[in-house]
Amino acid sequence: MSDKTQINFFVSYAHDNIINAQDLLKRLQPRMSTSKHFSFSLWQDRTILIGTDWHTEIQQAIADCQLGLLLVSYDFFNSRYIREDELPKFVGASANKLAIPVGLEIMDWNKVDMKGLEKLQIFRYPKPPTLSPRFYAQCRGIDKDYFADQLFDQIIKRINVLQAA
């Protein structure tokens, strides 16, 4: 029996962003699986079995999670399903789950209806103060691993703050 705390993540991303989403998750999962204090389980819609009610499966996964890893892009906000059936569970008056928003693809926050996410700190590539933070899609090579390292560090910090409360 493990003395690690179980953390269930719901992963929300636009299907048009699947290449960058899967690449980021591929880098993030080894960090999560070797966590000293937490046992992470990432749920994404790719695990829905053929012939099952996909809407019910998604809503159950949201109900079962503690955190939502929201991989933000223009396509993310263009998805009616994300806007109406996923995002309200993580942001806004009816939200009851913790949101971990991540800048997946390049976008200008000032030109988008962020549906409440504008109030939350969105993780992007940490750069020196003289340069703008970059989105995951802008990273190359080792910068992608650094992005995943820094994101994982922020996730751990956020969970620790929640547990202390």
Give the SS3 label for residue 9. Answer: strand
77-to-41, 82, 134, 141 alpha-carbon distances in Å: 25, 7, 19, 27
- What pLDDT score does 14 carry? 96
> Residue 114's pLDDT band (boundaries 50, 70, 90)?
very high
The pLDDT tens digits of the residues spanning 20-31 come to: 999 999 999 999
Q: In the predicted model, is pLDDT for residue 43 greater than 70?
A: yes
The pLDDT tens digits of the residues spanning 118-146 come to: 999 999 987 655 566 689 999 988 889 99
> Which residue blocks in the chain are alpha helix, DSSP H?
18-33, 54-64, 74-78, 80-81, 142-164
- What pLDDT score does 22 carry? 96
The pLDDT tens digits of the residues spanning 54-63 come to: 999 999 999 9
